[in-house]
Amino acid sequence: MSEPSLKLSFKLKGEDFRGYIKKSDQSARSVSYSLLAFTFFLAVVALYLFVLTNIQSIDMDNLTRYGALVSLTLIMSGLYIMVSRWLKRALQTRRFGKNPAVLRPISFEIGATGLSTDDGLSKSWHDWKAFEGVEVTDDSVLLILDPLRSVIVPRRVLGEEENVEKFKTHIEAFITAAQRSA
């Protein structure tokens, strides 16, 4: 890229990944809800098959027992999904925060045609057409490539809230212009 309009250099810290992990976790949430719905479907099918196979001897004790079993299965599935998501988020934050390969100093060059990054070992360039949008979290500004990949710019690097909003507006203008020209 020639003549970058903005150049940032910083070193990522573990806490800079919280917003990214939360964003990627939202994508995983839909998978969790799908699993819960599938479990519910299986429980209903099992109850239906039980009723069909025991149609002559349906009594309230058996029906209550199997209804309680279906309810317990749904509750346990929901608890499993909630606890596993919480543990996954905690472990990912810890893993990113201790990974020296991720925590290298990095520099960004932002220009009219795209974003260039250099961490000393690798360089990358993304055209603005590759980005889906910009999201501001408590810890960072995420330049979203897809639901599971983002370029992380820590808010602490941008300073005051006014600078964060200017940065977001600047990037959104580049993305919008690139999408119009596509």
**Stretch 157-175: mean pLDDT, rounded?**
89
User: Which range, 23-27, 47-51, 85-89, 125-129, has the best average confidence (pLDDT)?
Assistant: 125-129
Q: Is the pLDDT of residue 52 over 70?
A: no
The model's pLDDT over 60-91, given as tens digits with 9 standing for 90+, comes to 666 677 777 777 777 777 777 777 777 776 66
Q: Is the pLDDT of residue 146 over 60?
A: yes
Average pLDDT, the chain: 75
Q: Which of 71, 69, 87, 70 is nearest to 32 (CA)?
A: 87
pLDDT at residue 3, rounded to an integer: 46
| Rounded distance between C-alpha atoms, residue 4 and residue 180, angstroms | 21
**Stretch 144-153: mean pLDDT, rounded?**
85
The H or E element that residue 109 is part of is: strand 105-110
In whole angstroms, how far apart are CA 54 and each of 51, 59, 63, 64, 75? 5, 10, 10, 14, 25
| Rounded distance between C-alpha atoms, residue 118 and residue 170, angstroms | 21
pLDDT at residue 1, rounded to an integer: 42
* Residue 153: burial class (beta carbons within 10 Å; 0-12, 13-18, 19+): buried
In whole angstroms, how far apart are CA 25 and each of 6, 8, 95, 96, 148? 30, 27, 15, 15, 9
Higher confidence at residue 126 or residue 72?
Answer: 126
| Rounded distance between C-alpha atoms, residue 148 and residue 44, angstroms | 33
pLDDT at residue 4, rounded to an integer: 43
User: Which range, 19-33, 80-94, 129-143, has the best average confidence (pLDDT)?
Assistant: 129-143
pLDDT at residue 16, rounded to an integer: 62
Higher confidence at residue 53 or residue 123?
Answer: 123
Higher confidence at residue 108 or residue 30?
Answer: 108
State the pTM of this model: 0.56
CATH 2.30.29.30 fits 6-13+100-181, yes or no: yes
